[in-house]
Every structure is written in C-alpha cells, then in structure tokens.
Structure 1
C-alpha cells in the first residue's frame, strides 16, 4: 500500500468562533441526515459557507443573528471587487439563503436577511449574427413541398420582421394584414404591436397560405404556422427545423430563431444607424436592451448624438483676454 497522504483543503470554519462554525456544521449534518444530499453537494455548501463566514468574521461578525441585508450586500460587493463571476455570486447567495432558512427552522433566527437580495446579473451571451451572404445561403430553399415552404416562410419572417420565436409561433392567420404590409404581433407582457414586413417575407408567407390547407385538419385552427399534424407549431419544432436547415444549407454556425432576429437587428442598425427605430421594431421597452442586443457601446451613441443633435454642435467659447 502507498503511504502517500491525501491532501485535503483546510476547513476555514476551524479558525472561526464556535458561534459561527457550529451552526454551519449543524446545517451540513441536516443536509446529510435529513435531506439526503450527495457528498459533492454538501462539500459545495461547506466551501461556500466557510468563505462567507470568514468574510463576515473579518468584518466583525461573531454570531449569525448579527447579519443583516447591508452586510450581505457588502459581501456581494467584495466578491465583485475580487472579480467573482455572477454565477459564483448566485451560488454563494443561494447557499446563504438555504442556511438562514435552516436557522429559522431551528428558531435561531426570525427572518432571512438574504431574502430579496439579488446578486449581479449574469450577462447573457448574444449569438453571433449571420452576415448577408450567410443569410442568402440559408434562405435559398427552393423546394416546393408544404413543409419546406412553411419553413422558409418562418425563416423569412424571423429575419424579415425581427420577431421573437414565441411571437412567431403564436401568430394567427388573421394577424396578417390583407395587403401584406404589416403583421399584428403579441409580444412580451401581452403587448400588441404592428410590425412592417414586405419583400421576400411577404411573398413566402403568402405562398405558405396557399399550401396551409394541405396540413390543416381542423378548419377552426387559427394558427398561421402548422405542424405536420395540423396543429399550431411548437417552439421546439421551430428550433429543430431551423437547426436542420442550417445543416442542409451548409451554414457554418448553428441556426436558431434568435440568431435570425439578432441578424435582422444588426443589419437594420448597420444600414440605418437608427437605434430608436430598431427598438420599436424589436419591441423593446427600454432602449438599453436594444443597445446591448446590437453590440453598441456608449462611444458610438455619443458620436451619433454629436452628429445629429442640434444642441450638440456648439461653438467653442472664445477665450477672454
């Protein structure tokens, strides 16, 4: 047998007052004996609560009932300054909330000071948009069977009008303007907006409408886009079909409904430099959402402002002698 010792991480709780350490050990025992959590999960709780307790002790805390929301916010700020990722902050907060719930259950606390406190928001990575040539490659679907026509109509609409996946799937036939100039969309928060669409998107939707009856099983079905079974197409089905067409058309990146919407926004913005118009087209309530969505930075916005706003073009004040 090998005489090599297994090196384990030192337990920071052993360096803390019993008034901080013992409740944590009690919680870990509860997770094992009553909740039946795995050793790996318990180890994560142990690690997170050890770090938290150490930081709190360094700030003068000797008992858990001394912890209030202000101290927890300071803990989050300290993590941010140390470069802790938002996901790690969320894990730390979750561990602390669970621990405080345990102390409330044991009647050692009357309220959970971590409830209602949120950590830094995780930055959602946006998909890389397709360039115009890639869009042309994807949309060169010339098959005439109903499902292919339906799929191209959906892709043309996602890219041509910039609507969301949920908005696409919830479209009804009656939402299409008779003249084909606009569609009625129900967006987030059940808010209605009218979105212009024309050109290829309009042509392919109109072509799909002539073939829709071949999949229609129930004449009362209002959905614009139908599945093979004749019912409203599901979100998952749309996503699956988009990914399949990306492979069939030999597009280098993964295709999703959101990527087509993102490409719409990027191409419109690049051509128009009109952030407000893009905000309206996307159905964003706050322009800051559009700013992030389209990779704009403040410097670019400042340049647009300086060029466009009449009060931005001010003459430099003359120096007084």
Structure 2
C-alpha cells in the first residue's frame, strides 16, 4: 500500500476516494483496484512534496497538474526503480486521469503522452529435464508432497497465473473431464485443461486433503501444519523452495507460465493458446513465447535445409 501523507490527503484524498468507489462500481477485482489506487496515491504523495522545476510549478490541486508534472514523476521513478515498474505506474495513473477528466469535464493531462519503454527481457523457460527433477522432488505420500505436486502439475499443464491458482476452490476442479474453472483478470471466467497424469495427482491430493483439519474449507489449497488456507505468497515461497532443492534458482509462477506457453505454442493455434491462457491480445502470444524463439527457429531450420535438397 501507499498511504497518503497528511498533506496529500488534504489536497488530493477526496478525489482518490471517489476514484476507488468508481472502480468498485465497475466490479473490478480487488487486486486491480489496489494497483490503480496505490499508484495514484504514490503520485499524490510526490505532488504534495514536489517543489517544482523550470517546466511546472508545484501543484496544489488536480487542476494544476500538467503533462510536465507527470513526466517529472515518471523520470523520478526511472531514476530509482526499473523501467517495468515505471511503466506499470504510468499505466495505472492513466486510469485515474481518464476517470477524472470525464468527471470534471476537463482536459486529460496524459493525452498524447507515451509510457516509458521497457527493454525486452525474456523470462527463462524450464527444460524438460528440469521439470522432471521438480516433479520428482515432490514424490511421496505426505500431504505437503501431494499438494505441491498437484500445484506444479496445474502450473505446468494449464499455465495459470498465481492468483488464479490460489483462488481455486474444490468445486472448480472436474477430474473426469480434466478441466478446471479459473477466474482470471477482469473477473473473466475460463476453463483450462490438465493431463491425465495431473488428474491422478490431484485426486491423490484431494484424498489426503479430506483428512486435514481444514478440509471443510471451500478453498482447494490448504497450508501445512493445519494453518488454514495456502495463500498466493505461500505458493510462491513453495516454488522457490522446491526450485532451490533441484538447482533452479529463482523459480517463480511466471516462469512456469512462460514454460507452458513455449511448449504449447508448438501444438496449439494462436486462438487456442489465447483462450486457454486468458489473453485478449495476440501480442501476448509472441511475448510469452519469445524466450526460446531463437531455439525454435534453429530447430525449424534444420528440418529441410537447402543443402539436403540438392
């Protein structure tokens, strides 16, 4: 969270509260509302403390804000944080200014501005031998082993986001059809598929789950040592721990999503990949599959080289 300072709350707090209510009325997810309002509060705090420069004077109201204020704030973020972080903050406050300019019937100061460029940094994709090692590390009859194995299989087979996996309920899983219903970004439901082996693994987890203290909870994933429900943070920590155990440093859910996209891009059409992944833009297909694009191109080039045709 980015709580408003006293000065920022006095100058900008009322409109931010109205903005938050408008987001709730749009039925956006709690996480989306938090991202948009946190960025707006950070910008408000910066405005309240900023002394101005040659391009713009200090702002004491939203009406005072110009493109120069926004550019100065983004520049300050780029000086202290990553380009990806600055880009995320830029796109988040875009939502506030779109709302504010409509409500106040005033020009949007972000009109014509462009977000900071984020250098492309392909995320590592796991090799099949690494995936096998990861699955092997979870073999066993204990509750934690069966739970972790089921989680990794779903990440590997369905390419879901961490928040999607964390929010699953027992009723979302149909093992006979090998389908799982997930709630994605924008509160959009979709159905993803799993392998036959994954269905068996999840079935074994559910049998062990039924013996746990919190078995009556609707949430699919339970924490170890009778601590209740496993959170999305717990899922990330589990993957990091499992990864370190088999020599995969920095393993995280997004790496498994990229791995899923890489292997399935060879077997599915773009339309099928988009629907299963919950993407609305075809650009996401190329972005997620870019990690090993050169390797795929080399393998394709070896299939029928000209030298073998002559």
Q: Which TM class, normalised by the smaller chain length?
A: 0.5 to 0.7
Matched, 1:233 2:230: yes
**In 2 relative to 1, CA 189–68 (structure 1 residues): closer, same or farther, beyond 3 Å?**
closer
| C-alpha distance in 2 between matches for 1:292 and 1:264 | 13
**In 2 relative to 1, CA 257–45 (structure 1 residues): closer, same or farther, beyond 3 Å?**
same
Higher relative contact order at CA 8 Å, sep ≥6: structure 1 or structure 2? 2
Q: Report the 3-state secondary structure (helix = DSSP H, G, I; strand = E; otherwise coil) of the residue aligned with 1:49.
A: coil
**What RMSD over aligned residues (CA atoms) do the two structures have, in Å?**
4.4
Give the alignment's TM-score, normalised by structure 2. Answer: 0.59
Determine if contact 2:214/2:222 at 8 Å carries over to the other structure.
no
Matched, 1:254 2:258: no
- The match for 1:200 is 197
Q: Report the 3-state secondary structure (helix = DSSP H, G, I; strand = E; otherwise coil) of the residue aligned with 2:290.
A: coil
Kindly state the Cα deviation for residue 212 of structure 1 after the two structures are TM-superposed: 0.4
| C-alpha distance in 2 between matches for 1:297 and 1:169 | 28
**In 2 relative to 1, CA 145–295 (structure 1 residues): closer, same or farther, beyond 3 Å?**
same
| C-alpha distance in 2 between matches for 1:89 and 1:183 | 35
- Residue by residue, what CA displacement relative to the aligned partner does 1:130-161 show, whole Å, maximum 9, x if unpaired? 11111111111222210111011101111111
| C-alpha distance in 2 between matches for 1:88 and 1:203 | 40
**In 2 relative to 1, CA 175–120 (structure 1 residues): closer, same or farther, beyond 3 Å?**
same
- The match for 1:316 is none
- The match for 1:222 is 218
| C-alpha distance in 1 between matches for 2:227 and 2:286 | 39
| C-alpha distance in 2 between matches for 1:176 and 1:89 | 38
| C-alpha distance in 1 between matches for 2:146 and 2:269 | 32
Determine if contact 2:180/2:191 at 8 Å carries over to the other structure.
yes
Kindly state the Cα deviation for residue 227 of structure 1 after the two structures are TM-superposed: 1.0
User: Which structure: larger Rg?
Assistant: 1
Q: Which consecutive unaligned segments of at least 5 residues does structure 2 have?
A: 1-6, 9-45, 57-62, 76-81, 91-105, 294-310
| C-alpha distance in 1 between matches for 2:212 and 2:112 | 50
Return the match for 1:150 from 147, 152, 160.
Answer: 147
Kindly state the Cα deviation for residue 196 of structure 1 after the two structures are TM-superposed: 1.4
Q: Report the 3-state secondary structure (helix = DSSP H, G, I; strand = E; otherwise coil) of the residue aligned with 1:139.
A: helix
Matched, 1:174 2:171: yes
Kindly state the Cα deviation for residue 88 of structure 1 after the two structures are TM-superposed: 10
Q: Report the structure, 1 or 2, having the larger helix content.
A: 2
Q: Which consecutive unaligned segments of at least 5 residues does structure 1 have?
A: 1-29, 32-40, 54-64, 80-84, 94-110, 299-321
**In 2 relative to 1, CA 204–113 (structure 1 residues): closer, same or farther, beyond 3 Å?**
closer
- Residue by residue, what CA displacement relative to the aligned partner does 1:15-50 show, whole Å, maximum 9, x if unpaired? xxxxxxxxxxxxxxx99xxxxxxxxx99x967x935
Determine if contact 2:261/2:289 at 8 Å carries over to the other structure.
yes
- The match for 1:276 is 271
| C-alpha distance in 2 between matches for 1:88 and 1:163 | 23
**In 2 relative to 1, CA 173–122 (structure 1 residues): closer, same or farther, beyond 3 Å?**
farther
- The match for 1:127 is 123
Return the match for 1:191 from 179, 188, 191.
Answer: 188
Return the match for 2:259 from 239, 260, 263.
Answer: 263
**In 2 relative to 1, CA 120–239 (structure 1 residues): closer, same or farther, beyond 3 Å?**
same
